[in-house]
Amino acid sequence: MFETMVEKVEKRRAGVVDVEEDGDWTKVHMGGASEDSGGFRSQRLSDEETLAMLEEAGSTISLKDGPRRSRYLKREKNRWRAVRKLDKHKKIERMHANIRKDMKRKRKVKEVKQVLATAEEVRQRDAEYREMVMAATIGANS
């Protein structure tokens, strides 16, 4: 008896009820069973109107200057700049490590030369000490 709006639209889409007899304001376009216009007619334009709309839309698109290239070259340039920077840093680190090794080596050589320079004196003092201890031991035992 009382049909809901959804039931009316479904009947129109199925082609059961004629649109003019129902008098609904939506004026459903009955193109085909597979077409779904959402309850509204599609707007029909003449060829001149279509060309005018396309011209208007095309005129609003801004023209870009220059070629359309990707940023590949810029990315590669930046990547290689970063690689060179890292290589430079590693080279500086190697140089500093080499300097530290050289300083350690020089320190060891300096210590060895100092020991060699004072070795005769140390041997002399050691021999004197041993003789003194030997003399004290002999004196204590006799």
Section 119-130 average pLDDT? 95
Judge whether residue 124 has pLDDT over 70. Answer: yes
Supply angle C-alpha 62, 63, 65, rounded to 5: 135
Tens-digit pLDDT profile for residues 10-38? 777 776 655 555 555 455 444 444 456 66
Domain ranges of the chain: 1-30
Section 64-72 average pLDDT? 78
Specify the higher pLDDT residue, 78 or 46: 78
CB 15 within 8 A of CB 30: yes
